Amino acid sequence: MAFKIQRAPRGLNQLLSMFGGESPTELEDRARLVIDAIQFYGATQMQLGLVAAAAVNEGVNQTLVLAAQNWTVLFSCHANFTKTATQTALRGELYLNRTAGGAVCLASKDLGPFGATESGTAMVPFFFPYPLLCPPGTTVAASPTVIGTDANCIMSTVAEFGVLG
């Protein structure tokens, strides 16, 4: 009765040939460690960008330019909206525009509950799973897409980023 011999591979070539059929024709003679240093460099040039307005109307974008002439590494961004005691609804959205092609919605959030005891600052946050490399002129924008009862709201757009170069 025939059976397969089970044995562990004795090296990388044998391991690769077990799953792909043939051994590679060329292989580096040593392993090289590669470290992505962009996070470290971006962190040393850390900045906090902020734009704020006291009376933003529904649907108006508040835009923050990260760096007009330099590449940046974007770590996180958020928008703050101030809820008042008279508001019946408030929805905030956060956008990122890295190209001339248009903005991408990063986060959208209903900022309830509402009422006399529920006034104060509400946040729409977004944290990237890894730092995001952004070309010059990249913008972060926020917008109150719904403002119930009140005509406008107090809003600020904040981004944490590093400037490269």
Condensed to tens digits (0 to 9), the pLDDT of residues 62-101 reads 999 998 888 888 999 999 998 888 888 889 999 999 987 7
| Structural domains present in the chain | 47-164 (2.60.120.220)
**Three-state secondary structure along the chain?**
CCCCCCCCCCCHHHHHHHHHCCCCCCCCCCCCCCCCCHHHHHHHCEEEEEEEEEEEECCCCEEEECCCCCEEEEEEEEEEEEECCCCCCEEEEEEEECCCCCCEEEEEEECCCCCCCCCEEEEEEEEEEEEEEECCCCEEEEEEEEECCCCEEEEEEEEEEEEEC
Of residues 153 and 100, more confidence is placed in: 153
Q: What is the model's pTM?
A: 0.70
Condensed to tens digits (0 to 9), the pLDDT of residues 13-71 reads 676 666 566 655 666 677 777 777 666 666 667 889 999 998 888 888 999 999 888 88
Split at pLDDT 50, 70, 90, the class of 152 is confident
